[in-house]
Amino acid sequence: MRKAAALASAAMVAAVAVASAVSRQWQRRAVKRLERAGAVLRGLEEGCAAPVELLRQVADAMAAEMRAGLASEGESDLQTIVTHVDSLPSGDETGMFYALDLGGTNFRVLRIQLGGKEQRVIKQDSKGMSIPQHLMSSSSHELFDFVAAALAKFVASESEDCCLPEGTQRELGFTFSFPVKQTSLASGTLIKWTKSFAIDEMVGKYVVAELNMAIKHQGLNMKVTALVNDTVGTLAAGRYVDHDTIAAVVLGTGSNAAYIEHANAIPKWHGPQPMSGDMVINMEWGNFKCTHLPLTEFDRELDAESLNPGEQITLIRSNVPLSKVQTRKLVVDVCEAIATRGARLAAAGIYGIMKKLGRHPDRRSVIAVDGGVYKYYTFFSQCMESTLSDLLGQELASSVVIKPVNDGSGVGAALLAASYSQYRQADEY
């Protein structure tokens, strides 16, 4: 009996010793993992650092690239696309107009009733839908047939108080948030897909022609009046509520900017001088590259795996390998480092636009901003605005206003359809 008890006691002691040894070993490994994670974090923070001096260099490089891009095609990584939008909404627009917003894995159709300067937006309806995964890499006919069918169903829901007179053609603003070589206000060819779309046979084709054909197959008396991207739509929506709006930035799934340029500062524009003297430029600033951009090994790995490697630098958002990060605090620190860099680079981009335009403190300048990252990530928006103030300096910062715009890509497209309505222009002559 005593022997059995002694054996049991010895076994227990041994088990405790083993457990203690295992625990110490686990703790040592955990400490080492945390140390490695800390080293990764420090390296990431150093790689993402964007001091004001560097941001000024980024802004100078962007302004220089803007000038090169406006001089002639192919002279800059910035495409600086001439949008053919030379007249933005004034508030006088009246009537019912539609918009189709296609720029990611979801799309929306929108209907807006405008009542001129007195009533502005009388009524607005919209409906969103997801694009099935297989349609993002199938064919242009299948994609646009799917979209047009949803549009036709939405049109059928018109109430009696907003129906158009018989025989009136409905007019549509089409927000297509992919790089397009615009040939007129309502036509352009697809340059390339982004955001996980990969319909190769669509590249080089006229986007609006494909959509108009699909709309016709649905039996709708409707046509695309304006082809824009989300930043141009946001600029139009911003200008509708504030005439001092000079540029727009979208910060969401992707990022881009558009701004109002003096037509005589666009050497590559060979068309007639617009009556307004201005032209909206779609920057496609996702293509911007310069040696001053703070890139990390994770950015380069992610870019190599992206749809357009080397063409649009895909900056990490939450793609740091979290297997190396073991605590919530480290995760928060990683996200903060990445968000801070993104916000500060966005501010540098806006500052670059201001430098290119030569804005002075005696002129109020409004920047319209839309996109989920800006709207819902308070840390990001506050960091971007404070960084922009630092870059502008106290005197100029007092005249610059960052103004959030809700649904710029949808409402803005409908407003541009109204601005360029065939019926409105007929009334003017």
Amino acid at 140: S
Four-CA torsion 374, 377, 380, 383, nearest 10 degrees: 100
Query: What is the pLDDT, as a whole number, of residue 15?
Result: 47
Distances from the Cα of 255 to the Cα of 100, 123, 314, 361, 374, angstroms: 20, 29, 10, 27, 11
User: Residues 6 or more apart from 353 whose CB is under 8 A from it?
Assistant: 62, 63, 66, 247, 257, 259, 283
In whole angstroms, give the CA distance from residue 117 to residue 91.
5
Would you call 181 exposed, middle or buried from its count of C-beta atoms within 10 A (0-12, 13-18, 19+)? middle
Instruction: List, in sequence order, every beta strand (DSSP E) within 286-382.
Output: 365-370
Residue 272 near residue 264 (C-beta atoms within 8 A): no
Distances from the Cα of 12 to the Cα of 144, 267, 379, angstroms: 72, 87, 54
Query: What is the pLDDT, as a whole number, of residue 330?
Result: 78
Dmax over Cα atoms in the chain, in whole Å? 114
Per CATH, is 51-81+245-406 categorized as 3.40.50.300?
Answer: no
User: In this structure, what token pair is assigned to residue 392?
Assistant: 């502008």
Q: Do domains 51-81+245-406 and 87-241+409-422 have the same CATH topology?
A: no
pLDDT in tens, the chain (429 residues): 555 555 445 445 444 444 455 455 556 666 677 677 778 778 888 888 899 999 999 999 999 999 999 999 888 888 899 999 999 998 899 999 999 999 778 899 999 999 888 888 889 999 999 999 999 998 999 999 999 999 999 999 887 776 677 778 999 999 998 888 889 999 999 988 887 888 999 999 999 999 999 999 999 999 999 999 999 999 999 999 999 999 999 998 789 999 999 999 999 999 888 999 999 999 999 888 888 888 888 888 877 877 667 665 555 554 444 444 476 777 788 889 999 999 999 999 999 999 999 988 889 999 999 999 999 999 999 999 999 999 999 999 999 999 999 888 899 999 999 999 876 654 554
User: In this structure, what token pair is assigned to residue 366?
Assistant: 């409004």
Beta 222-228 vs 170-176: how paired, if at all?
Answer: parallel
Would you call 50 exposed, middle or buried from its count of C-beta atoms within 10 A (0-12, 13-18, 19+)? buried
Q: What is the CATH number of domain 87-241+409-422?
A: 3.30.420.40
Query: What is the pLDDT, as a whole number, of residue 36?
Result: 78
In whole angstroms, give the CA distance from residue 105 to residue 88.
28
User: In this structure, what token pair is assigned to residue 88?
Assistant: 């933005």
In whole angstroms, give the CA distance from residue 429 to residue 417.
18
Query: What is the pLDDT, as a whole number, of residue 151?
Result: 95
Query: What is the pLDDT, as a whole number, of residue 313?
Result: 57
Instruction: Please say whether the dihedral angle defined by the alpha carbons of residues 298, 302, 305 and 311, taken in this order, is positive or negative.
Output: negative
In whole angstroms, give the CA distance from residue 311 to residue 285.
11
Query: What is the pLDDT, as a whole number, of residue 142?
Result: 94
Query: What is the pLDDT, as a whole number, of residue 20?
Result: 55
Query: What is the pLDDT, as a whole number, of residue 328?
Result: 73
Indicate the domain borders of the chain.
Answer: 51-81+245-406, 87-241+409-422
